[in-house]
Structures are given as structure tokens and as C-alpha cells.
Amino acid sequence: MPVLRRTEIREWVKQVAASHGKRVGEISYIFCNDEKILEVNRQYLQHDYYTDIITFDYTEGDRISGDLFISLDTVRSNAELFHQPYERELHRVIIHGVLHLCGINDKGPGEREIMEQNEDEALRMLDKMNNPSL
């Protein structure tokens, strides 16, 4: 289980949501391994592959809510693959799910680039929270 600064993450998620005109409701983070995320992917989405995150969106109006299943195995593999610190990759995946709850998709033409831009901006917000002189 990763060490997360819950208060910091909570405040960051609120800031990111607010930047998209949203308020934060109840968000559950379910940290699991590759086998569990594959099981969830098969059972609920009929997809037969591993992934880093699956987002179940229960948003109503402007209040985002949902369940975020995050495979720590895939986060670790992706951190190594992309030469990123594990914690940074975990933050990217967490905010990826939050951005889905905010209505940003990444499957259609051009949507992946928009998602990545939003992830990068959200990570810069986190950096500024941790180091206001940036």
C-alpha cells in the first residue's frame, strides 16, 4: 500500500475538480493488484486486459463521485517504463480517474491528448501546492 498524504490529495482533488466547475462528493480509491483489476475489467466492462485504473462514475450534476480501482502493479510497471518516480505515476493515475469524473474522456479521436494536457496541468497544481515558489 502506498503512503499517501490524504489531506494533501483531498485538497488537490478539490482544486482540480473546481478548475473544471465541479465539486467533490464521495470518491473511493480501491488499490488492488493486476489480477483484481483484470477481474473487475472482465466482470463489469467485458474487457480482457490489464489496466492501471478503472473508473466507475456516479457523478450527479456538478458533484463528482465514483469508485476508482487502481492497480498498484501496473502503476509500478508504468513508472519504470516511463522513467517516473512511483509516487508521481500514482498521482497521475489518481487524477486521471478524477478527470474522468469531471467529464474528460480519452478514447475518441484527439481525446487522449486532451486528457494528458489536463493530467499535466493537475500535476503542476500539485507541485505548486508542495512548493508555492514554483
Measured distance CA(15)–CA(101) in Å, rounded: 14
pTM reported for the whole predicted model: 0.95
Q: Among residues 34, 69, 38, which one has the least CA distance to residue 55?
A: 69
What SS3 class is residue 17?
Answer: helix
**Structural domains of the chain sorted by starting position, each given as residue range(s) with its CATH number in brackets:** 6-130 (3.40.390.30)
What are the pLDDT digits (tens) for 16-72? 999 999 999 999 999 999 999 999 999 999 999 999 999 999 999 999 999 999 999
What are the pLDDT digits (tens) for 95-125? 999 999 999 999 999 999 999 999 999 999 9
The DSSP 8-state label assigned to residue 53 in this structure reads E
